[in-house]
Every structure is written in structure tokens, then in C-alpha cells.
Amino acid sequence: MNSKSLEKVAYTKPSITELEVEYATDAARNGWGEKCYEYIARFEKLFCDHLCAKHTIATSSCTGALHMGLTALGIGAGDEVILADINWIASAAPITYVGAKPVFVDVLPDSWVIDPAKVEAAITSKTKAIIAVHVYGNLCDMDSLLDISRRYNIPVIEDAAEAMGSVYKGKKAGTLGAFSTFSFHGTKTITTGEGGMFVTNDDELFETVSTLNNHGRAKGQTKQFWADMIGYKYKISNIQAAIGCAQMERIDDLIARKRDIFAKYYERLKDLPLKMNPQGEGTINGYWMPTIVVDKDVPFDREKLIEAFQKQNIDARVFFWPLSMLPMFDDKPENEVSYDLYKRAMNLASYHDITDEGIDRVCNVVREALT
């Protein structure tokens, strides 16, 4: 059958209902003047309540939220920030924005997230932060990382961009570090089109980032157009926040659907020589992106699997490359797990409205490639 005659299976797209349209329309019609921040404040409150966190600041992107958080921690030129080699560049780029150096360490082979032992080995006098990225919803070993944080007095930052719905030993991802960041890009579990969130339980950090996000104008400043420091403008728009409010009112269902999709993939693929996203003891994985990692002893060609997906009109999404392989960074082949993992892994289509037939089509392609 020609691929063009098959219905498209997208790797991800948002779940948008009439509620999102209604709120966005109201913001476009009425959310101006004195009402220009109403949906933003409401969105922040809904997100805060969902996480059981103390403070939230809605931003134009997760990247911007991370940039401001690093700035607020005083990280700058000559400093180092440790993070896993397997990540999207958005976790590393803000480190360079403040003049610091990203230090890439290897990941754990079973969870694909930062290896605490490698973190501790990489600490120097220049280390000023550790970024724990919960890749694809998989949770970092926060107990070990927070223990390192206490012993070395180095803050742990959670990049929870992909971890909506993930829970670590009773605490929701994004509530354990000095601060955390979330993404609401159109691919994420909840979306505002583009957007992010800064989250912290630290009052001082919250006030600093609030000031930074308002062109450096401090809360309570009475002088018009007076800036108290050099700041940024990473604010989300009221219309985007309106969509976010609708998404947050549906959040439990959106998270549950992601977990349901993963369960269906797991059931269909469990007999094959591969591993999927782990769910450690005492944790809940939000399963943003169901992922397969083919066993080492099995012949596998990622490019051929991509071609097979494309022939079936299925979006193909590769596993993240090691960041140290990118041209702007130095190679780190000593990160052996990272340099092996990406070649054996693929993300699977997982948008909220995917049908069982769509999941079957994806699984059939995977099965054919491995049998």
C-alpha cells in the first residue's frame, strides 16, 4: 500500500478541545488593559496547586526559565554546570548564555538519565550547579543527587520539561530541586503552543526571577519605567496562558492518557529484545515519550527503521544524540553509555488521540525490524 494512502501517524501533537478555544477566544477578545495578566495569574496558580509547589512563574519557554534560574543563582563566567550527555540542547544552551561551561557526564544504562556517580567524579572547585533532566519522563535518582548537593553545597536544578505526570517517592517531578523548569511546547503533555514555567519553593529565588522576568523591575517599585537590574522579557502571553488554563483543567486526563498509550505499547512489544521507559520503585513515570532501546546483541539499524516508518506514513523520531557530539562542544567518547545508547533507540508516536490501530501500525513496523 502506498504510504500516501495511509492515515498519518504523528509522533506527537497537542490535545485541543473546545475549552482551549473558548478560553483563548476570551483572552483575545477581553484580555487587555487591566485584564492583560488575568489568565497568566490563573495559569500559574493552577500549575502551583497541581505540583503542590510554593511559587511558579509562567514564561515564554522552558529555555528562558532555565536561563533566568541560572542567573538568579549567580552562575556566570568561569563556572561549570554538570548535566547528562544524553539531552536536548535546550538543557545545555542556557548554561552558555550566562558564560558558564556545560560539563557532560554519562547516563545510567537502564534509565537513560544522569549517573550520580559520574556527577560526583566530575565535581571541581568551579562546579556551581547540577542539572537533573528527567528525559522522556524517566526520573533521575534524586535521592543520590540531593545527597551530593548537601555534601558539596551545590544546588540541583530539575529540568522537568518532559516530566509532567512523573512522581518521585510521593513528590511530583519539579518540586525537589532548588528550582525546576517545565516546557509547554506543542509536543508536550500539556501545551500553550510555546511556553514554560519556573518553579521553586525558595522565596528569595522567586523574587529574583520575578524581577529578572520583568525587565529587572522589582516588585513594589513605584517609579514608572524604573529598572532595578538588567533583566529579561521571558513572559508568556495572556492568550497562551488561557490555553494553559484549559489544559490544566484537563491535566489528570492528559497524564492518564499518556500512561495508557505507554501501557498499550509495552503490552504489544514486551516479547521483543528491547527495553522501554523504566518506572523505578516508589516512582510514577508520566511516560511523555514511549521509547524503545534495542538489546545490544541484536542487529539493529536505526536508519532502516526510520525508512520503514516513513514508508508507512508514520513519523520517526530519533533518540537524543549525545550533546558532546555536537560541533559546538568537545567530544566525550568516554561517556560510553551515551555514545552507544542513541544508536539503538527510537521514540514511538504517542499523541493523545492516537488510535489503537495507529499503535498497532507502529508496533508492526518495530516487530518487522526485529524479527
CATH code reported for the domain at 3-9+251-370: 3.90.1150.10
Q: Are 110 and 246 in contact (CB under 8 A)?
A: no
SS3 129: strand
Enter the CATH code of domain 18-105+112-249.
3.40.640.10
Q: How confident is residue 5, by pLDDT bands cut at 50, 70 and 90?
A: confident
Confidence band for 371, pLDDT divided at 50, 70 and 90: confident
Percent of the chain exceeding pLDDT 70 equals 99
The percentage of the chain sitting over the pLDDT mark of 90, rounded to a whole number, equals: 97
pLDDT for 3 equals 57
Q: Which has the closest alpha carbon to 184: 205, 206, 199, 204?
A: 199
Q: Does the pLDDT of residue 1 top 90, yes or no?
A: no
Per-residue model confidence as pLDDT tens digits over 118-154? 999 999 999 999 999 999 999 999 999 999 999 999 9
Spatial contact of 122 and 103, defined as CB atoms under 8 Å apart = yes
Under DSSP, the state recorded for 90 is G
Nearest to 84 by CA among 130, 53, 23: 130
> For 294-331, what is each residue's pLDDT tens digit?
999 999 999 999 999 999 999 999 999 999 999 999 99
d(CA 172, CA 50): 9
Q: What is the pLDDT of residue 337?
A: 98
Res 4 pLDDT > 70: no
pLDDT digits 0-9 by tens, 26-57: 999 999 999 999 999 999 999 999 999 999 99
To 10 degrees, the CA torsion angle through 67, 288, 44, 213?
10
Q: Return the pLDDT at 365.
A: 98
What is the pLDDT averaged over residues 252-276?
98
Question: What is the grid cell recorded at 347?
Answer: 521514540
Statement: residue 110 has pLDDT above 90: yes
In this predicted structure, what is the pLDDT of residue 250? 98
Mean per-residue pLDDT, 279-307: 96
**pLDDT above 70 for 2:** no
Instruction: Name the residue among 36, 34, 62, 35 with its Cα closest to residue 47.
Output: 62
Chain centroid to CA 3: how far? Answer: 32
356 pLDDT higher than 90: yes
In contact, 98 and 70? CB cutoff 8 Å: yes
Q: Per-domain residue ranges for the chain? A: 3-9+251-370, 18-105+112-249
In the sheet that holds 55-59, the strands lie side by side as 55-59, 196-200, 179-183, 156-159, 127-133, 80-84, 101-105
Mean pLDDT of 201-214: 97
